[in-house]
Structure 1
Amino acid sequence: MNEQVLKAKQIVENYDGRPLRIMEVCGTHTHEIFRLGIRQMLPENIHLISGPGCPVCVTPVGYIDQAIDLALNHHCTICTFGDLIRVPGSDMSLQQARAKGAKIVMIYSPTDAFTYAQSHLDEDVVLLAVGFETTTPASCMAIRDAKKNNLTNFSALVANKTMDNAYLALKDSADAFLYPGHVSTITGCQIYRDLCEEGISGVVTGFTGPEILTALAVIIKKLEKGQPFFMNCYPRVVRDEGSPSARKIIASVMEPCDSIWRGIGNIPGSGLQIKAAYQDFDARKKYGLENTQGHPNPACRCGDILRGDCMPNECPLFGKVCTPEHPVGACMVSNEGSCSAFYKYME
C-alpha cells in the first residue's frame, strides 16, 4: 500500500467528526465496497447509502407490465438484458410470462436486438431499452440502424434515464455523492460542476480499493471546509469532456422527458424518449400502449432503499421471502442491486 493510499485509509478510519451520509449511485461501487471490505472498516459516523445506481432497480413496475403486454397480447419477441427478465411486474415477471408462451430473448448489447430482428423478419421484435448514459448510445445505434435499413419489424420500448436530475431530486438524502465512473466517461465532468452550483457535492471515482478509499478521504476533508465541491478522482479513465461522440448519438435519436423512477417517483427531465423522426420505431406508439403506474408489492421496501430511507436488511422481506432465487423486489434481482449486495456479502 503506497503512502498516498495509506494516508487516505487513515483519514477514513480515524474520522471522528459529525455523522456523514455518502451515497454511491453505481451498482458496481456498491458491490466492490462490500467485496473489498471497505464498508466494514468505516467508523460508525460514516454512513454509506446505496442509492439508485442500478438501472434495472429504478425501472418502474409499469414498464415491466408494458413489456409483458407486448409479449403476451401483441405476440412480440422481447429482447432484453438478463437481469430484467426476473424483475416482478404487477402480476408476473417476464420469466413467468415466458412460461405462458412469451418469447423472450436474452441479449448482451442493444445492438444484438437489431441483429436478431434482421435475421427474424417474420417476428415483431422489441428491444427493452433501459439503462443510464453508459448503455443508451448502443440503444440509439440500434434504433438508428433500424431506420437506415428500413427494418419495420424492429422497435424499442424505452426507459433510458439520465443521472443529473436524479442528484437534484436526492440532494437532501446525502452530504456527498460517489459519482459513477462508467457514466462519467460519457457525461464528462461539467454536469458535476453545475451540480456544485446547486449546492451538491461529490467525487467521481473508480472501482479499486485505493480509488474508493481516496474518494472517501477527499469527501471527508472537503466536507470539513463547508463548501460545495467536486473532484475527479478517476482521471485515468474519466476525461473532462467525457465522450462527445456518444452524447451526439444520443441527441440524434432521443430527447429529454420526465421519467418515473421506482421508489422516487417522477423526476422532471430525467428520462429519454425517441424523437419524432424515429417514432416508427417507438414501441409505445407502434402498439398503442397505455401508460400505467403498475402495482408493486406493498410489503417490498425497494423504493425506500433506493432513496436511502432504510437499509436492505431493514426490509421485513429481506433474506426471508425475498432472496436472489426468489426476488420480490428489483433491488434483489440485479447483480448491481443493493439488496443483492447485502445478501451476498453480509453474514
Structure 2
Amino acid sequence: MSKLNPSAKKALAIIRNYQGPKIRIMEVCGTHTHEIFRLGIRSILPDAIELISGPGCPVCVTPVSFIDEAILLAKKGVRIFTFGDLVRVPGTDGSLADARSRGARVNIVYSPLDAVSYAKDHPEEEIAFLAVGFETTTPISCLAVKRAAALGLQNFSLLTANKTMPAAYLAMSKYTDAYLYPGHVCAITGTKLPSELTKQGISGVVTGFTISELLTALAVIIEKAQQKKPFFVNCYPRVVREEGNPAACALIRHYMEPCDSEWRGLGLLKNSGLQLREAFARFDARRRYALPALHGHANPACRCGEILQGLKKPADCPLFGRTCTPEHPVGACMVSHEGACSAYYLYDGRQAFTKQK
C-alpha cells in the first residue's frame, strides 16, 4: 500500500489507529468482498473492525425453488437461457448443469437480448430466460421484453427472480452497524433510499471498488460511528448521484411491479421482488407454462443462509473446503464468482480451512 495517494494514506491511518468499540460493517456487494480480499485490506484492519459479507449477488440469494422451476421448464421442452453462474447452483434434485447432462437444453449467454435474438431465429422453439438480478441488471431484462414485444415474438418469456434491495437492507440491519452499500445498485437507484434509512437508525456509505475508495469508505464509517448517530455518506460521487439513473428506473417501473419474494437465508420479504405487469403477462414463464408452486429443499448441512446474514463465516460451514469447493459447489455462495464462500476460498479460505483442521 506504499503507492496510496495522500487521502488514502490518511484513511489508512484512521483505520489502523482505531481503538474504539467493535464496529461490524457489512459488504452488501460481492465485488466489494472480493476486492477487499484481493487488495489485502482485511489484513490491515484492527480487531475492533469486523467485515461481514451480506447477500453478495443475485445468484447467492436466489432460492432453491427457482432452480427447481427452471429445471421443470426444461423438462417441458423449453430451451433455457441463463447467465453462467446460475447453471451450477444446486436445486432440490440437482442443478441446471445436471439437467443439461441428462438432455435439457440450457444455453449460457451474457445478455437476455441474446435469448431474444435466438427466439426470433428459431420460432419453432420455446425460449425462457432466467431473469435474476438486483436493480442493476433488471433494466436489461425489461429491454428484452420490450424487444420481444416489438418483434411480435410468441415463443419468448422470462422466469423472473429479480429483486430490489430496500427490504433486504431493513431485514439485515440488525446484524450490522453500518453498510458498505453496493455502488452499482446505487448508481441506478440513487442516494435517496440510504439517506432515508438513517431515519430508521440504519447507517452506511456507498463506495466504489478502488483501494482508495474502499479505504476512504471504511475510514468514514469509523469516524461517523463514533458520533453515535445514524449516517449516510456518498463516497462514490463520480458514479452515484442523488437521482440515480432515472431512465433505468422508469424502464423497470413500466414493465415490472413489486411482489413478495423469497431470499435465500432471509426468507420471504414483502415487496422485495419484481414481476412482469399484467400488460406483459404473455412474457411471464410462470403464467405461460402454468408452473405449480414449488418448495425447494437445500442441503441441510449448507450454511449459505446464515453466511448471507453475516451470522457465520464461510469457514464455519462444515462443508466448506471439504465437500464444497469451487469445483464441486454445494451452495450458491460457493458457485457465484461474487459469493462470500468463493472469496474466502480463493483468497483466504484454504488457510482458514487449514487452521480448522
Q: TM-score under structure 2 normalisation?
A: 0.96
Q: Deviations over 1:197-220 (max 9, x none)?
A: 111101000001110000000001
Instruction: Please say if 1:34 is aligned against 2:37.
Output: yes
Q: Which of 55, 68, 73 in structure 2 is aligned with 1:70?
A: 73
TM-superposed deviation, 1:35:
0.1
Structure 2 counterparts to residues 1-347 of structure 1, below 5 A: 1-72=4-75, 74-346=76-348, 347=351
* Alignment coverage as a number of residue pairs: 346
TM-superposed deviation, 1:83:
0.3
- State the distance in 1 between where 2:10 and 2:293 align: 52
TM-superposed deviation, 1:79:
0.3
Q: TM-score under structure 1 normalisation?
A: 0.99
- State the distance in 1 between where 2:128 and 2:285 align: 7
- State the distance in 2 between where 1:302 and 1:102 align: 27
Look up the SS of the partner of 2:260 in the other structure: strand
RMSD in angstroms over aligned alpha carbons?
Answer: 0.7
Where does the alignment leave 5 or more consecutive residues of structure 1 unmatched?
A: none
Look up the SS of the partner of 1:200 in the other structure: coil
Asked if 1 retains the 8 angstrom alpha-carbon contact of 2:5 and 2:212, the reply is no
Q: Deviations over 1:254-304 (max 9, x none)?
A: 001111000110111110011000000000000111122200000000000
Look up the SS of the partner of 1:271 in the other structure: strand
- State the distance in 2 between where 1:341 and 1:150 align: 43
The residue type paired with residue 195 of structure 2 is: R
- State the distance in 2 between where 1:272 and 1:66 align: 17
TM-superposed deviation, 1:2:
2.3
Q: Deviations over 1:235-262 (max 9, x none)?
A: 0111111100000000000001111000
The residue type paired with residue 336 of structure 2 is: S
The residue type paired with residue 28 of structure 1 is: T
Where does the alignment leave 5 or more consecutive residues of structure 2 unmatched?
A: 352-357
The residue type paired with residue 52 of structure 1 is: P
Look up the SS of the partner of 2:293 in the other structure: coil
The residue type paired with residue 247 of structure 2 is: S
- State the distance in 2 between where 1:67 and 1:37 align: 38
The residue type paired with residue 5 of structure 1 is: A
Partner of residue 354, structure 2: none
Look up the SS of the partner of 2:36 in the other structure: helix
Asked if 2 retains the 8 angstrom alpha-carbon contact of 1:155 and 1:283, the reply is yes
- State the distance in 2 between where 1:192 and 1:151 align: 39
The residue type paired with residue 307 of structure 1 is: Q
Q: Percent identity?
A: 61
Asked if 1 retains the 8 angstrom alpha-carbon contact of 2:131 and 2:162, the reply is yes
Q: Deviations over 1:286-336 (max 9, x none)?
A: 011112220000000000000011000110100000000000000000100
Q: Deviations over 1:22-77 (max 9, x none)?
A: 001101001000000001111111110100021100000000000000001x1100
The residue type paired with residue 43 of structure 2 is: Q
- State the distance in 1 between where 2:102 and 2:174 align: 44
Look up the SS of the partner of 2:148 in the other structure: helix
Asked if 2 retains the 8 angstrom alpha-carbon contact of 1:66 and 1:289, the reply is yes
The residue type paired with residue 261 of structure 1 is: W
Asked if 2 retains the 8 angstrom alpha-carbon contact of 1:60 and 1:293, the reply is no
Asked if 2 retains the 8 angstrom alpha-carbon contact of 1:34 and 1:341, the reply is yes
TM-superposed deviation, 1:14:
1.4
TM-superposed deviation, 1:145:
1.6
TM-superposed deviation, 1:222:
0.5
Q: Deviations over 1:108-134 (max 9, x none)?
A: 012111111111111100000001011
Look up the SS of the partner of 1:52 in the other structure: strand
Look up the SS of the partner of 1:226 in the other structure: coil
